[in-house]
């Protein structure tokens, strides 16, 4: 499978833009030849897209073994061979940034380039032509600001939860030259995250200077049938889809396999008058407080996620105003709250006359109960419930193999996931009990 969002890009051979038009000023074919690199289709598309004067932002969702980190580092160095250029290569964390730093050093040694400064601690290489190649971490983006960049590369972009803020707030203003560009490159990791959002921009008329590329293992002729057979036999279906098909729909470690095509709908006109309506409440401050409203249709035996609310750093009073409005709107019968949030429960009752019930809280049993509902397509989610859709997509198991028992990762998907679990599991448990 191979997709490119705009039809102006040649995917079969490197395009011969004029020197004035193209972004990479040096002849890339000659450079690749000196490295012994014969680019595959996805690499050709990436190079042509970044070279095109029509696009400033390139998003590449590529499967495993497409040489995505290598080719992006080659592009970075080629750009830096022009004097007085600043290149930034961002990784999800400090450890992964070492990969690009080592690649840059190897490329420099291969071509015997003159280096003015090589700082391993800060991961900065300055060439004698005045150009700088800097490696940075999304987790420490502040250390990379304060200068203007000609090219920014986000490597393994989907692995970092905070990449959107790092780009929009910290780094987008540093691309302050008319010709400056940015590459986002990664294997996908679910559909409700910033990398997926940026990928979709390549298909939008609103973002006409964005372009998106997607390639599965089929586009790498170096894969043998045995390679693929071995991968399928050694991986879960989700992992294979993610790593070899560049599939946005699922990823390894995903807690719930939610059916988007069948279970996301516009519920604005849904008649809930005969539903039992209940809610889940997960309490936080710096971490957000999450609240979800669910209606249960006794006849159809389906759950409808009607509305959600999630905000951080708000007072109990501010949350109470919103919760009361949702109670009035949906005629909520019960609110199931985190049993550890007794102060919040007391304050809601005493100060705002909002009654709550301690949720049934076993994490693994609760996750399993929600999974049963989801697997049977019994949870229908309103398309406007963006935080809930993110939770259903991005809630994931902790990959640490040394854990005694499985546990989910604590991330931005956790809070609404907890609220969903409190609501659904407690409601199901009460059904069984009574």
Q: Where are the domains of the chain?
A: 2-222, 260-433
Helix spans in 52-173 (H): 68-80, 94-110, 163-165
Q: Which of 15, 156, 219, 307 is catalytic?
A: 156
Two structure tokens written together for 404: 């005694």
Provide the Cα torsion 136, 141, 147, 149; round to 10°: 60
Q: Check residue 404 and give its pLDDT.
A: 63
Q: Which two tokens stand for residue 116?
A: 């003015």
What integer pLDDT is reported at residue 117 of this predicted model?
A: 94
- pLDDT, position 431: 63
> Would you call 425 exposed, middle or buried from its count of C-beta atoms within 10 A (0-12, 13-18, 19+)?
buried
Contact 258, 385 (CB under 8 A): no
Instruction: List, for residues 359-384, the tens digit of each pLDDT value.
Output: 998 899 999 999 999 999 999 999 99
- Contact (CB, 8 A) for 66 and 42: yes
For residues 214 and 2, the answer to whether their CB atoms sit within 8 Å is yes
The answer to whether residue 156 is catalytic is yes
Average pLDDT over residues 55-60: 97
Lowest mean pLDDT among 48-62, 178-192, 238-252: 238-252
Instruction: Return mean pLDDT, the chain.
Output: 91
**CATH number for domain 260-433, candidates 3.30.420.280, 2.70.50.60, 3.40.228.10, 3.40.50.620:** 3.30.420.280
Predicted pLDDT at 344: 95
Model confidence at 432: pLDDT above 60: no
300-328: string of b/e by CB count within 10 Å (b at 16+)? Answer: eebbbbbbbbbeeeeebeebbeebeebbe
What pLDDT is attached to residue 378?
95
In whole angstroms, give the CA distance from residue 131 to residue 345. 58
Could you report how far apart the first and last alpha carbons of the chain are, in Å? 51
Give the tens place of pLDDT for each residue, 254-275.
898 888 888 999 999 999 999 9
CA-CA distance, 306 to 388, in Å (whole number)? Answer: 10
pLDDT higher than 70, residue 290: yes
Residues 384-398 have a mean pLDDT of: 90
Task: Enumerate residues 6+ apart whose C-beta is below 8 A from 97.
Answer: 89, 90, 91, 123, 135, 136, 137
Higher pLDDT, 161 or 23: 23
**What dihedral do alpha carbons 98, 101, 103, 109 form, nearest 10°?**
-140
| pTM value surpassing 0.85 | no
| Per-residue pLDDT, 401 | 55
2-222: which CATH topology?
Answer: Rossmann fold (3.40.50)
């Amino acid at each position: 499978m191979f997709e490119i969002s705009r039809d102006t890009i040649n995917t079969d051979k490197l395009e011969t833009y004029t020197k004035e038009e193209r972004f990479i000023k040096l002849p890339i074919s000659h450079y690749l030849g000196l490295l012994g690199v014969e680019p595959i289709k996805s690499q050709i598309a990436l190079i042509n897209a970044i070279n095109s004067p029509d696009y400033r932002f390139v998003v590449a969702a590529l499967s495993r073994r497409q040489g995505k980190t290598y080719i992006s580092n080659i592009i970075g160095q080629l750009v830096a061979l022009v004097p007085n250029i600043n290149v930034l290569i961002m990784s999800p964390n400090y450890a992964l940034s070492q990969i690009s730093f080592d690649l840059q050093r190897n490329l420099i040694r291969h071509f015997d380039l003159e280096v003015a400064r090589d700082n391993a601690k800060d991961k900065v290489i300055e060439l004698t032509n005045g150009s700088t190649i800097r490696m940075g971490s999304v987790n420490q983006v502040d250390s990379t600001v304060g200068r203007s960049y000609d090219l920014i590369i986000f490597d393994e972009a989907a692995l970092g939860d905070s990449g959107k803020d790092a780009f929009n707030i910290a780094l987008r203003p540093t691309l302050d030259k008319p010709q400056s560009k940015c590459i986002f490159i990664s294997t996908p990791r679910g559909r409700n995250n910033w990398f997926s959002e940026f990928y979709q921009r390549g298909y939008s008329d609103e973002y006409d200077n964005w372009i998106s590329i997607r390639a599965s293992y089929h586009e790498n002729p170096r894969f043998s049938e045995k390679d693929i057979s071995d991968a399928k036999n050694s991986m879960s279906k989700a992992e294979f889809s993610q790593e070899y098909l560049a599939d946005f729909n699922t990823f390894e470690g995903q807690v719930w396999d939610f059916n988007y095509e069948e279970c996301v709908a516009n519920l604005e006109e849904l008649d809930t008058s005969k539903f039992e309506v209940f809610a889940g409440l997960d309490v936080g401050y710096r971490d957000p407080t999450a609240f979800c409203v669910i209606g249960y249709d006794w006849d159809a035996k389906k759950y409808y996620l009607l509305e959600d609310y999630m905000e951080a750093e708000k007072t109990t009073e501010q949350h109470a105003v919103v919760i009361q409005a949702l109670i009035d709107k949906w005629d909520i019968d019960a609110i199931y709250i985190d049993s550890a949030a007794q102060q919040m429960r007391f304050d809601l009752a005493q100060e705002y006359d909002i009654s709550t019930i301690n949720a049934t809280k076993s994490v693994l049993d609760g996750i399993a109960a929600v999974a049963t509902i989801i697997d049977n397509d019994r949870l229908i989610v309103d398309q406007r419930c963006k935080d809930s859709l993110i939770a259903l997509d991005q809630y994931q198991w902790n990959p640490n193999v040394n854990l005694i028992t499985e546990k989910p990762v604590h991330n931005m998907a956790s809070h609404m996931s907890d609220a969903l679990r409190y609501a659904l599991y407690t409601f199901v448990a009460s059904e069984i009990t009574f």
